[in-house]
Structure 1
């Protein structure tokens, strides 16, 4: 969580540990995330807003995910300055904003990725029955619900991201006592862990396993007209982001909350948590750079839109050359999402991978 970003002190006399390595680590990793995250997510938003003709429900989820990443990326220059200089001159308000942005990014990313996984699950496992559910209106409601949830949890939690002024410097995200942990922070941590991490993780695993089970049936593949290898890549990317970025961070966060609130009395565990927390947080922050891979493997239209200038011309030429050769029950794989959506409305019972 953002208000844990540099949690130290507390009862350092009872369990001393030197975790000053975290400052240079945060500064270096945040610098990389800022550059890569800014470039990739701005490029992704450009594709979503200006190059895609059809903005379906999946595209809406991915657009909101990119916005969530950028909100966090824009606060990173302040965090970089703070970690390299070990002084926060930007005021208490910006300290709280940066804390909220971090929460919004981490847990918003998990929830939006979950929305994409559920949408893919419905498209593949229940392709016909889910048509009335998989609409832009419902996707918009889901996105609004995610933003309300992460902001509703992030804004109250950010009140703990206060600045502390000393003789030599001003700190942000640091120095919470055990009483604060025991009274407030541990409860907030458990709530966010369950709602923002555990439930999305279980949903992603459940949806992925049911999609894999469905893909084992050759008749199903023919019915929905999807590509098995493509869907497998989607699943691998989604699960990899959860396992690599979010599982280590949230596991250490939960452990740290337990030892800091004295629910588990162990100096060794507290030292372990304080040492591993900065490392896992940096890995979690890298999700901003990995999310564009989700866009690439989830949307065929996104892949095509990455080509500059000749995308539509090539698509039209390919469509004209391949359409006469297509069988009665199949469609060319080069059809864009607009054509797919139009023919679906006209009664064709198929769903191609570019729809999800």
Structure 2
């Protein structure tokens, strides 16, 4: 959902810069409906295969299972978001006398924002875990301590705690002590100095949660590609499966996460008046529903990583933990 009211409303530092984005009500309902159907099917199948797999459990499978759980959390929350935009659309297009007065409460906003962040940044962190797992398997195959099942479980638990902390903290940061002049608990007012500080603080946390994992992912994959380029390093089948995982994770980052965070930066700075360029403000405002839907669609693409790499992660030898075999 948008962090502040923006339909046909001038930007805070651009009094003559307006844009009608009323299309977003219908666009979100259609895009989230499609994501719900596809995501429910793909993540349901992935979790079923992961749960009932007769093969040896590996660290990669632990990360993929966590990724599917994070995605499924978001998928099951989509009906709430579809209902939100259905009600907002009815209120927007109704006549003033018949306009619906349904206001989403603070609890509704807290739940929907929390689940959104769980899926988005849980997806980013667990994709990076998969990347680092491939890095260790290819670049440091003899140092298997960090690929043991016990370590993978501990790391996954730590990431879940971090993601839940961020996902609960960001909405609380947005809503704590905020009384919007729009009387809409899901919106912030960028013209307010206090709320502008909250917006920029949230932006900093969000960008940090994207840029640091992206740097780790790019470093690990550059090292993996350099090793795989050496002659006779691995069998042709293993090399093909590893490259498939690498390229697909990069596709998810470039298609889903990078456009969203790039546009979010321009979108936010425009609204708080730090980037008073009307053309950029209009473009980021018009693109916001598109890139947000693309970011949400990562829950449909992530299960394909398991599909493309299932032969690799089940056939490679499992590392032993301190308690014995997996």
Shared fold (TM-score, shorter chain, > 0.5): yes
Q: Mean alpha-carbon deviation: is it higher for 228-237 or for 25-34?
A: 228-237
- The alignment's TM-score, normalised by the length of structure 2, stands at 0.83
CA RMSD of aligned residues (A): 2.9
- Unaligned stretches of 5+ in structure 2? 92-101, 321-326
CA distance in 2, matches of 1:176, 1:144: 36
The match for 1:101 is: 115
Displacement of 1:84 in angstroms is: 2.2
Change (3 A) 1:337 1:229: closer
SS in 1 for 2:41: helix
Could you say which residue in structure 1 is the equivalent of 2:311? 300
Aligned to 1:40: 42
Shift of 1:253: 0.5
Residue 100 to residue 132, structure 1, CA distance change in 2 (3 Å): same
Aligned residues: 303
Q: Deviations over 1:220-275 (max 9, x none)?
A: 225xx862222221111010000000100000011112122222222332222111
Runs of 4+ in 1 over 4 A off after TM superposition: 5-13, 87-90, 161-167
In the superposition, the TM-score normalised over structure 1's length comes to 0.77
Q: Deviations 1:69-110 (Å, cap 9, x if unpaired)?
A: 111111110111121231656632122111011111111101
Is it true that 1:258 corresponds to 2:257 in the alignment? no
1:123 aligns with 2:134: no
**Could you say which residue in structure 2 is the equivalent of 1:19?**
21
Structure-to-structure mapping, 1:270-349, within 5 angstroms: 270-300=281-311, 337=315, 340-341=317-318
State whether residues 221 and 227 of structure 1, in contact with CA within 8 Å, keep that contact through their aligned partners in structure 2.
yes
The worse-fitting range, judged by mean Cα deviation, of 174-183 and 251-260 is 174-183
The CA distance in 1 between the partners of 2:187 and 2:198, in whole Å, is 15
- Structure of higher RCO (CA pairs closer than 8 Å, 6+ residues apart): 2
SS in 1 for 2:132: helix
| Structure 1: runs of 5+ lacking an equivalent | 303-335, 346-356
Q: 1:5 to 1:246 in 2, by over 3 A?
A: farther
Q: Which secondary structure state, in structure 2, belongs to the residue aligned with residue 178 of structure 1?
A: coil
CA separation of 1:161 and 1:38: change in aligned 2, threshold 3 A: farther
- Counterparts in 2 of 1:67-146, with a 5 A limit? 67-86=69-88, 91-129=105-143, 131-146=144-159
2:263 touches 2:287 (CA, 8 Å); kept in 1?
Answer: yes
User: 85-94 or 18-27, which moves further after superposition?
Assistant: 85-94
